[in-house]
């Protein structure tokens, strides 16, 4: 398993972590298998979405803010209920296929850490499952 620390810079943001995950797969030596990307935080998430146009990330965050506003009279005393709800909607992990030693992603796809309660230091865990690495 590999662990990365990502420093987020804003209250909400999507950070492209595709290259970190891809590098972990390459270093593992696994040619065919599964890669699980997990964030062990209740106010962050992991998603796969378009990487070519940064407006997509802006649109995702804007619509999540519209659906789950930060100030909506929540009961949670910490004041970050919206972040918890967004994390539950997005999810805390993604599973990807590894084929021929590389992640299988669509042409425009990237892997994102979703920050909903930043700025913070976030852990991202990557677990690679497959046959033995080739010698």
Express each pLDDT in 39-71 by its tens digit: 999 999 999 999 999 999 999 999 999 999 988
User: Per-residue pLDDT tens for 83-112?
Assistant: 999 999 999 999 999 999 999 999 999 999
Alpha helices, H only, 29-129? 54-67, 81-90
pTM over 0.85: yes
For 101, which DSSP code? Answer: T
Question: Domains plus CATH for the chain?
Answer: 2-130 (2.60.120.460)
Instruction: Please tell me what DSSP assigns to residue 43.
Output: T
Bridge partners of 29, per DSSP, are none
Phi and psi at 129, nearest 5°, equal: -120, 135
Q: Residue holding tokens 């979703």?
A: 114
């Amino acid at each position: 398993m590999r662990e990365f620390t990502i420093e987020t810079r804003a209250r909400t943001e999507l950070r492209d972590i595709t290259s970190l995950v891809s590098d972990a797969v390459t270093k593992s030596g696994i040619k065919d298998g599964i890669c699980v990307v997990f964030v062990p935080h209740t106010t962050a998430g992991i998603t796969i979405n378009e990487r070519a146009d940064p407006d997509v990330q802006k649109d995702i965050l804007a619509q999540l803010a519209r659906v789950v506003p930060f100030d909506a009279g929540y009961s949670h005393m910490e004041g970050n209920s919206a972040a918890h709800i967004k994390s539950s909607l997005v999810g805390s992990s993604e599973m990807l296929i590894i084929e021929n030693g590389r992640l299988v992603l669509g042409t425009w796809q990237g892997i994102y850490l979703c920050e909903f309660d930043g700025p913070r230091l976030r852990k991202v865990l990557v677990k690679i499952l497959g046959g033995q690495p080739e010698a």
